[in-house]
Amino acid sequence: MKPALKIAVAGLGTVGAGTLQLLARQAKLLAVGAGRRIVVAAVSARDRRRDRGVDLSAVRWYEDAVAMTADPEIDVVVELIGGAEGVALNVIESALKLNKHVVTANKALMAEHGTRLAAAAEKAGVALAFEAAVAGGIPVIKTLRESLAGNRLARVYGILNGTSNYILTTMRESGREFAEVLAEAQKLGYAEADPSFDIDGIDAAHKLAILASVAFGRPVDLPGVYAEGIRHISRLDIDFAEELGYRIKLLGIARLTDHGLEQRVHPCMVPRETPIAAVEGVFNAVVAEGDFVGRVVLEGRGAGAFPTASSVAADLVDIAAGRYVPAFGVPAASLDALPGAAMERHQGAYYIRLMVVDQPGVIADVAAALRDEHVSMESMIQRGRAPGEAVPVVLTTHVTVEAAMQRAIERIAGLDSVLEPPRMIRIEDF
């Protein structure tokens, strides 16, 4: 058997501790798959006293994670610190300069700096592996980059944030409102004290930028991702979605269009019979559509210590066995600067919910606003009569252009009979 692959782990939080436990428990299994042992030789963390669930008495400790990368015995640096800048970035940059392989679970860092770091890894002749950065334990990066290499992909989409999916699932199942379910998710540990990263679509945008780069062979373009969260979704919208035959999901979607590559994260209404609609709770799912393979659906746990550690271990096994490819599937210099498609040019169907005063002429005014922007109405739901009272009115449209829809919404919002901002959710026909 070859000499052991010696690794250094920077960051021993939830994922770091889970990775150490997996490597210890599955040591024999990993050695068989890798053709050599994988040994944790060094670690760096702020608190040495905390119990990580494994014996670290024989492991070298470093106060300075960057200094650890210069340890001459280390073959691979595993960065599990997190954050797009600061120590995490310094650790990876230092490791690559020292010709050390890098494994990371850092989605924010790869979304911000992935293209540049991939070029640095190629120059050094080492691997930059990041399976754990997207969708936790789901092997989506390897699938897109290698297993589907014989396909031209038309679309990649998925549920990329478990917190938002848990909230939307629980709202539907319990009939409760967003704020109440969010508070429960925070108590259960599914949502952070400051949940904005998850519920405003930022986390999903980081992951989508990475997926789009791998799927379509283009430089990572985080600024090109349109991001919208789920704060405005109400129980009323979820109930109407069910009535119309849809489920509401926060999706990340990368799609080739005549205008370039769309990258967008926002709530979507998806038909109940589609595979993505059945993915519930904290689970993630990614769907890829290729010209030869058709539709491929991957589902699993998108976060947590052990699922993420599973992906870290998979990258380590590949490196140990000498199986590694350019980070994004093709050399960084060959990434195609495919133009991005502006969100204003998106074409699709829409769900619109209005709260209006029940009085004559309201629907005619709304219809006029849609007509003037050439937006065709497909259906309308209006409950009973309550003269002078606030009532919901729901409209769905045929396929139209986003910019026209936004102009119509702005005009409708200005009507005296409309009592609160209109709620718009895009309908996806998967």
pLDDT digits (tens, 9 = 90+) for 273-330: 999 999 999 999 999 999 999 999 999 998 889 999 999 999 999 999 999 999 999 9
CATH number, span 140-301: 3.30.360.10
| Domains of the chain, residue spans | 5-133, 140-301, 346-427
Q: Characterize 196-235 residue by residue with b for buried, 16 or more Cβ atoms within 10 angstroms of its Cβ, and e for exposed.
A: ebbbbbbbbbbbbbbbbbbbbbbbbbbebbbbbbbeebeb
3-state helix, strand, coil in the chain (%, to 5): 40, 25, 35
CATH 3.30.70.260 fits 346-427, yes or no: yes
For residue 49, give every residue at least 6 positions away whose Cβ sits within 8 Å of its Cβ, in sequence order, or none. none
- The predicted model scores a pTM of 0.94
pLDDT, tens digit, for every residue of 397-419? 999 999 999 999 999 999 989 99
Catalytic residues: 207
Judged by phi (left if over 0) then psi (alpha if -120 to 50, else beta), residue 205 lies in: alpha
Overall average pLDDT of the 262-270 stretch: 98
* Percent of the residues in the chain that have a pLDDT greater than 70, as a whole number: 99
Q: Could you give the CA distance from residue 201 to residue 197 in angstroms, rounded to a whole number? A: 7
Residue of higher predicted confidence among 49 and 43: 43
Task: Report whether pLDDT(141) > 80.
Answer: yes
CATH level 3 topology of 5-133? Rossmann fold (3.40.50)
* Alpha carbon distances (Å) from 134 to 138, 205, 212, 388: 8, 11, 11, 50
Q: Could you give the CA distance from residue 317 to residue 23 in angstroms, rounded to a whole number? A: 11
Residue 61 and residue 44 in contact, taking contact as beta carbons nearer than 8 Å: yes
DSSP labels, 37-62? -EEEEEEE-S-SSS--SS--TTSEEE
How confident is residue 341, by pLDDT bands cut at 50, 70 and 90? Answer: very high
Overall average pLDDT of the 192-201 stretch: 93
pLDDT, tens digit, for every residue of 365-379? 999 999 999 999 999
